[in-house]
């Protein structure tokens, strides 16, 4: 009997078992590859129909889902070949914990970035104020959010900072309220000032009819009675309308004969002899 035949007789069972395990592992790899591709395509197609997630987040979810399938397939293959997967999983978990502690700040930015992309308190192109910074959102990624300020500065803010602070979104609701305040003299008639503001509100086409403009006495200060026009405009018209209305209000108040008083203070100088006389009395 040849050496090859002798080897086969002695190890045929192990060889057949190893071949079976190899074929099974190859089958699992092929199946996992097909499943991963199907899941990735499904994520893209589902979001195209529903538009629920930010476009930046889709490649991340698709890639993570694909890797998850391969990891599960790897665990099955190791188990087929008799590797103690429980110990391996525990080892990987311990290593992951150590890496997580070492990179906790980076991971917190990633977690915050994912939450910002899912909940979307702001989107690209919106104007926001957060943590004392105002600007237009130019990019949202996993680590930072890029803002462009009004004066053209580039601001890269860590996502964890944005996620932990109150976010004021000036764009989201589509419209904004403006408050135009002007002071008139105490000797002027308040109703006459109201009529001037009412005419301005009625003739300004950029102001919204709903909510309707409001006119009121805002405050009575030292030198003037402050009257206020409170009105709403769409975001695209807001600033130009606000600037134009301030100019119109000033000119219209003066054209109506009303006085816009300057802050004044009266000083009464008492001579030394008069002060002494007052004390004697």
Binned at pLDDT 50, 70 and 90, residue 144 comes out as confident
Report if residue 230 sits inside a domain.
yes
What is the domain count for the chain? Answer: 3
Residue 251 belongs to domain with CATH number: 3.30.70.100
Binned at pLDDT 50, 70 and 90, residue 267 comes out as confident
| Residue 211 preceded by cis peptide, ω within 30 | yes
> Same structural domain for residues 96 and 135?
no
Q: Which of 102, 134, 154 is the last residue of a domain?
A: 102
Q: How far apart are CA 42 and CA 69, in angstroms?
A: 14
Q: Which two tokens stand for residue 205?
A: 């086409």
134-153 mean pLDDT: 89
**Percentage of the chain modeled with pLDDT above 70:** 77
- Top-ranked range on mean pLDDT: pick from 17-31, 101-115, 229-243: 229-243
Residue 276 has pLDDT above 50, yes or no: no
Residue 251 has pLDDT above 60, yes or no: yes
Q: How far apart are CA 46 and CA 53, in angstroms?
A: 10
Residue 86 belongs to domain with CATH number: 1.10.287.1260
C-beta separation of 57 from 117 below 8 A: yes
Q: Which of 118, 169, 111, 168 is nearest to 143 (CA)?
A: 111
What are the backbone dihedrals phi and psi of residue 48, each rounded to the nearest 5 degrees, phi first?
-65, -35
Q: Which helix (H) or strand (E) holds 233?
A: strand 225-234
Residue 181 has pLDDT above 90, yes or no: yes
């Amino acid at each position: 009997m040849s050496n090859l035949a002798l080897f086969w007789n002695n190890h045929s069972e192990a060889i057949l078992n190893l071949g079976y395990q190899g074929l099974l592992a190859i089958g699992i790899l092929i199946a996992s590859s097909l499943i991963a591709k199907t899941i990735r395509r499904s994520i893209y197609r589902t979001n195209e129909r529903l538009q629920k997630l930010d476009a930046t987040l889709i490649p991340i979810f698709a890639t993570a889902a694909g890797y998850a399938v391969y990891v599960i397939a790897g665990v099955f293959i190791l188990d087929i070949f008799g590797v103690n997967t429980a110990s391996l999983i525990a080892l990987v978990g311990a290593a992951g914990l150590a890496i997580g502690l070492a990179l906790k700040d980076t991971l917190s930015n990633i977690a915050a970035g994912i939450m910002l992309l899912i909940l979307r308190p702001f989107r690209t192109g919106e104007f926001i104020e957060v943590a004392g910074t105002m600007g237009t959102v130019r990019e949202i990624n996993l680590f930072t959010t890029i803002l462009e300020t009004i004066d053209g500065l580039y601001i890269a803010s860590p996502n964890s900072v944005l996620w932990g602070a109150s976010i004021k979104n000036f764009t989201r609701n589509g419209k904004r309220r403006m408050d135009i305040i002007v002071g008139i003299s105490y000797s002027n008639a308040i109703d006459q000032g109201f009529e001037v503001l009412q005419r301005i509100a009625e003739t300004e086409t950029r102001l919204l009819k709903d909510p309707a403009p409001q006119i009121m006495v805002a405050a009575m200060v030292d030198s003037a009675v402050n009257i206020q026009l409170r009105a709403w405009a769409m975001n695209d018209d807001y600033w130009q309308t606000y600037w134009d209305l301030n100019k119109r209000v000033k000119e219209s108040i003066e054209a109506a004969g009303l006085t816009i008083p300057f802050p004044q203070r009266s000083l009464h100088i008492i001579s030394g002899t008069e002060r002494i006389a007052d004390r004697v009395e």
